[in-house]
Chain A
């Protein structure tokens, strides 16, 4: 039979028809860079679409949503204050090393989030007013920091996990706490809680899960083409990790904005726990009654008079 190589030439049309959606048209190249063998990768175009569409939109929605939501919350509920007075007694809540872990994690998270978000929509908001040159410099360093600070974040994340996981096992108690909305929405309501209440547990686990995913996908993005934990290292996989990274980052940022709010301006006295390490006994009794009981039972020495304040008569 006749072999007519001309008659049977492959056409682009045919290939597109036989290939599944998004599959690359690829062949052989003589250069060592095997990626170059991919001739047409329609999937790349869709990734670009998703990145500019879904990811960018959701990220913007998440950030704006969190900010607007909290603003409303603040306007309605105002700052959550201690019902009673400051007791003047301090109770040690987080040791120095725990606080170090928190700030390592949180500080790096903020840097990562800002530099990451810049990649997503910096060109829409910042570029126009910074100008091309400055924005490029900013983004360049942002990108560099994102790459390096990620390591700090992962360390902080690991430490926080080790220190706090024991206190974050969900319990029956948490259900009750949640039913009462943590007392956040009503003055004077303080459902009992141990060291971490259900809300904090949610933050904790979101942070751990989200952070882990971000770290993993982040690492995969950082070393394209390298398999980590046996995960694929093809270009399509890269696209997937990138999307996951972006979306999880958006979600986690949303949650963390809320956390930051509560941990700072949202709740009176809360900041001290991470700022100084000890909190006012009364604040503790209101928000973590069971934990205070525990501490008082075992480790009375952890409750100390506040420095520079007179013991109450």
Chain B
């Protein structure tokens, strides 16, 4: 079974934010919620690199382990999803997530933050596949349509790779060998206790 992962090739990423707006477009993600974001390291200095980050769909996901209502589940593809019906908006997953993936419609003062939202790897949620309810709550379910995440599909430079972890690691390795340098598979160590060695 495929183990879906993301790999952002920082030597390709140009911070064009297509991944970000593609996600907004695909799922009608409201203002203020960023399922994906692009972080630039060493901004303005030689060595500057940008990394596009969303939920990494971690192995042994920390978010899932701290969720007081245990509303996370991992699909057979290794995608970490959660149920918005169950989520109480407590914010624990945000504090547990090493990648800042969980998002909330309200800023977490007093009372609730609203239901947590995060990258679904474009694979909806616990509702019926491709149902309206699923779309309204979680956005589109591209995986069920046999498509991959739109953010990666639309990435201007093909920096953002999505798909089976082994395959994208292979693609990345080839690139690093071809061009002779690489800045690492960002987040893999933290998310999967794994690095792509080249």
Chain A residues close to B by CB (< 8 Å): 3-13, 15-16, 25-31, 33, 35-45, 47-49, 51-52, 118-120, 122-123, 127, 132-133, 135-136, 139-140, 143-144, 147, 222-226, 235, 238-239, 242
Contact = CB atoms under 8 A, between A and B. Distances in A.
A15 B41 contact: yes
B88 interface: yes
Nearest to A6: B181
Contacts of B46: 3-5, 8
A222 B110 contact: yes
B39 A48 contact: no
B189 interface: yes
17 contacts: A8-B47, A10-B48, A10-B49, A11-B184, A13-B184, A13-B195, A26-B39, A26-B41, A33-B34, A38-B39, A39-B51, A39-B186, A45-B96, A118-B68, A119-B68, A223-B110, A224-B91
Contacts of A42: 98, 190
B29 interface: no
B143 interface: no
Nearest to B86: A136
A136 B100 contact: no
A136 B69 contact: yes
A27 B95 contact: no
B13 to A, nearest CB: 11
B178 interface: no
Given A16-B189, A40-B186, A29 B98 contact: no
User: Mostly helix, strand, loop or mixed at chain A's interface?
Assistant: helix
Contact of A31 (B34, B83, B184): B34
B56 to A, nearest CB: 9
Nearest to A37: B39
B157 to A, nearest CB: 14
Interface string B69-90: 1110000000000010111101
Given A42-B98, A119-B68, A147 B43 contact: no
Interface string B187-198: 101100001000
Contacts of B53: 39
Contacts of A48: 62-63, 65-66, 95-96
B41 A44 contact: no
A80 to B, nearest CB: 38
Nearest to B107: A225
Contacts of B43: 27-28
A12 B184 contact: yes
A51 B64 CA distance: 12
A28 B45 CA distance: 12
B49 A9 contact: yes
Contacts of A235: 95
Classify chain B: how many residues form its interface, as a range: 35 or more
B40 to A, nearest CB: 5
A26 B65 CA distance: 24
A49 B58 CA distance: 14
Contacts of B40: 27-29
Nearest to B47: A8
Given A5-B46, A39-B39, A222 B109 contact: yes
B111 interface: yes
Contact of A29 (B39, B87, B91): B39
A10 B47 contact: yes
Contacts of B41: 10, 15, 25-28, 39
Given A4-B46, A29-B39, A136-B85, A40 B98 contact: yes
B10 to A, nearest CB: 7
A22 to B, nearest CB: 10
Nearest to B64: A48
A44 B97 contact: yes
Contacts of A38: 39, 100
A36 B39 contact: yes
B88 A12 contact: no
B112 interface: yes
B162 interface: no
Nearest to B53: A39
B183 A28 contact: no
Of B34, B41, B111, the most chain A CB neighbours within 10 A belong to: B41
Contacts of A25: 41
Contact of B47 (A5, A29, A133): A5
